[in-house]
Structure 1
Amino acid sequence: MPYVRHWLRNSVLLFAAAIVLGLVAAHTSLIQPHDLDLDRTIQTNTRTGWLNDVMKGVSYLASPVAGVIILAVWSGWLLFVRRRPVTAVSTFLVVAVGWNSTQIAKAIVARNRPPRQFSLDPEIGSNSFPSGHTAFTVAAAVAAYFLFRDSRHRRTVAVLGVCAVLLVAFSRMYIGAHYPTDTFGSVLVAGSAILFMTGVWHAWLLPRLDRIPVVTPLLDRFGLEREQAEIAAREEGGHAGVPGPGGPRRPGRHRRHAAR
């Protein structure tokens, strides 16, 4: 997980911007009519039988149940197969925190969903801003980029991540579950949470990862000490073992700047 300077200030500002956008969209007439018009334009001009099934399938892939399965399999693969415990924990936290941060924004904004008569797949939850499906995709895309940011595949991963976010966001508007500002707000909210997580990770979690009760013994079984040695070697400009893509770098320097 990379370190971002001024993570606390930037994460607070980004989250505040998202909340302001949500409150204006939900409780004034400045955005709501345009949101609904755009939703209806998408639904009227693009809905067909086969595309309905495709968009519902895309939406299901980013649903809470699918998200939990994807996150568990992904983190488990990094831990049990790749034996990269630090990378597994950091990936899990990026996705989980970025995704679940939407619950805070939903409670604050309390925006009603689009009219149910236009929905192909009515939602049980009532709060619309921001979109949890889109936030999950944003968080997963960012986590994937973190993993490959030092490899030659980073641009491909970044492009695929952006395409995945756009596709899921479109699917949520297509089936009538969200407004456009809900999906855009997800990018802001998930982004702010991930920024915050990068600071907490380098300032507090990473230096203490080998001293957390219960967790540390489990991680030790899958190569915690070895991966930490590789991280230290990269910090010193050396090379230890065969590092996988995306391990944390230069924790010492990050800790010195953690409060900024």
Structure 2
Amino acid sequence: MAGLAESGSNPDVGLLFEINGLAEAAPTWFDRIMEYVGEYGLPLAIVVMGLWCLVRVRRLGQQGLADRESVVASVAAIAWMPVAALLAVIVNIPIRGFVERPRPFLTHQGLEVLVEGKEDYSFVSDHATLAMAMAVALFLAHRKFGVLAIVLAFLAGVSRVYMGVHYPTDVAGGFALGTAVALLLSPVAMAALTPLVGWLGRVPGIGWLLLGDVAREDGSAARAAEPVAGERPAGRGGARDLAA
């Protein structure tokens, strides 16, 4: 892995300088915005989308458009977002240690570095891994929001190259790792998270926070109703039925 650790391929380095060159040409105020958006804003936006999906699922239960079983399955799917992100970052720890690729600004002169203090290994990008893992997990729970989250995760990865702290292949590797963890471990995660959410749903206070009024075991809060515009009633399909 010495070649990858010391330098990138020519296309990789060339694309790095092309994207990072935009930062050098941009005004200072725009670079400051990109610094905060790339470091915090885009991953946080994906988290907010997940929280909004949780609110939406609880609302469907409140309106009687979803029974307790479906709400539990959907909340479990949304809960997979942070768990998938955490697992993906943990998996990345030995990968970074094995590849040992220095940050691009430590190897190549002339880069515009917007974020200081990034001197750990570069491959794979934690930001790209975390953002894509959350986005793909959200896609499994809610298709429309998931597609938007994947777009935001892609922009988060590109911003790392723009800021001069990662090679494009670092970001591509992060996308692949985050996607693999979120997709491949999803069946096992749902098998574990669904009964856990169901159990927490019976805990006073926590149950209402997670499931809303359908937290009660008898599901008496759910009432028969006609679907509202743009919604589908949820059945035993759980997260898939609640995804718009």
Q: Which residue of structure 2 lines up, in the alignment, with residue 61 of structure 1? A: 40
User: Are the structure 2 counterparts of residues 245 and 183 from structure 1 closer, same or farther at C-alpha, using a change threshold of 3 Å?
Assistant: farther
Q: Distance in 1 between matches of 2:48 and 2:150?
A: 22
| AA at the equivalent of 2:79 | F
**Cα shift at 1:196:** 3.4
What is the CA-CA distance between 1:133 and the residue it aligns to?
1.8
2:153 is matched with which residue: 153, 156, 165?
165
Q: Deviations for 1:78-117, whole angstroms, at most 9, x for unmatched residues?
A: 2699365653443232234235513322332332211246
Instruction: Describe the shift of the 1:145–1:80 C-alpha distance in structure 2 as closer, same or farther (beyond 3 A).
Output: closer
Which residue matches 2:104? 114
Partner Cα separation in structure 2 for residue 95 and residue 246 of structure 1: 27
- TM-fit CA distance, 1:48: 2.4
Given that residues 126 and 174 in structure 2 are in contact (C-alpha distance below 8 angstroms), is that contact kept between their aligned partners in structure 1?
yes
Query: Aligned-pair distance for 1:124?
Result: 3.6
Separation in structure 1 between the aligned mates of residue 84 and residue 226 of structure 2, nearest angstrom: 30
**Residue in structure 1 matching 2:31, options 30, 49, 52:** 52
TM-score normalised to structure 2 length: 0.63
Partners of 2:15 and 2:168 within 8 A in 1: yes
Deviates more, 1:161-170 or 1:203-212: 203-212
CA contact (8 A) 2:124 2:170 kept: yes
Within 5 Å, give how 1:79-228 maps onto structure 2.
82=58, 86-98=73-85, 100-110=87-97, 111-116=101-106, 118=111, 119-124=113-118, 126-149=120-143, 154=144, 158=147, 160-211=148-199, 216-217=202-203, 218-222=205-209, 223=211, 226=214
> Does 45-54 or 188-197 show the bigger shift?
45-54
Q: Secondary structure at the match of 1:163?
A: helix
Q: Deviation of residue 249 (structure 1)?
A: 5.1
**AA paired with 1:132?**
D
Secondary structure at the counterpart of residue 124 of structure 2: coil
Gaps of 5+ in 2: 60-70, 239-244
TM normalised by structure 1 equals 0.60
Look up the SS of the partner of 1:122 in the other structure. coil
Q: Following TM superposition, by how much is the alpha carbon of 1:71 offset from its aligned partner in structure 2, in angstroms?
A: 3.5
CA distance, structure 1, for counterparts of residue 141 and residue 154 of structure 2? 21
- Greater CA deviation, 122-131 or 189-198? 122-131
Aligned AA for 2:136?
Answer: V
Q: Structure 2 CA distance, aligned partners of 1:226 and 1:209? A: 13
**Is the CA contact (8 Å cut-off) linking 2:131 and 2:178 kept in structure 1?**
no
* Alignment check: 8 A CA contact 1:93 1:197 kept: no
Q: 1:56: Cα distance to partner?
A: 1.4
* Per-residue deviation, 1:175: 0.9
Q: What residue number does 1:26 align with?
A: 4
5+ residue gaps in structure 1? Answer: 1-22, 232-238, 252-260
**How far did residue 123 of structure 1 move?**
3.8
**Against the structure 1 CA distance between its residues 82 and 166, is the aligned structure 2 distance closer, same or farther, given a 3 Å change threshold?**
same
What is the CA–CA distance in structure 2 between the aligned matches of 1:203 and 1:163, rounded to whole Å?
Answer: 28
| Structure 1 residues 135 and 171: alpha-carbon distance in aligned structure 2, compared to 1, 3 A threshold | same
- Call closer, same or farther: CA 1:144–1:80 in 2, change over 3 Å: closer
One-letter amino acid matched to 1:90:
A
Are residues 250 and 219 of structure 1, via their aligned partners in 2, closer, same or farther at CA, if it must alter by over 3 Å?
A: farther
Residues 186-229 of structure 1: per-residue CA shift (max 9 Å, x gap): 111111111233111333332454346xx751543343793798
User: Are 1:55 and 1:171, in contact at CA under 8 Å, matched by a contact in 2?
Assistant: yes
Give a deviation string over 1:95-151, Cα, whole Å, max 9, x none.
3423551332233233221124622212445021222222233233324433433xx
Q: Aligned pair in 2 of structure 1 residues 115, 131: CA closer, same or farther (>3 Å)?
A: same
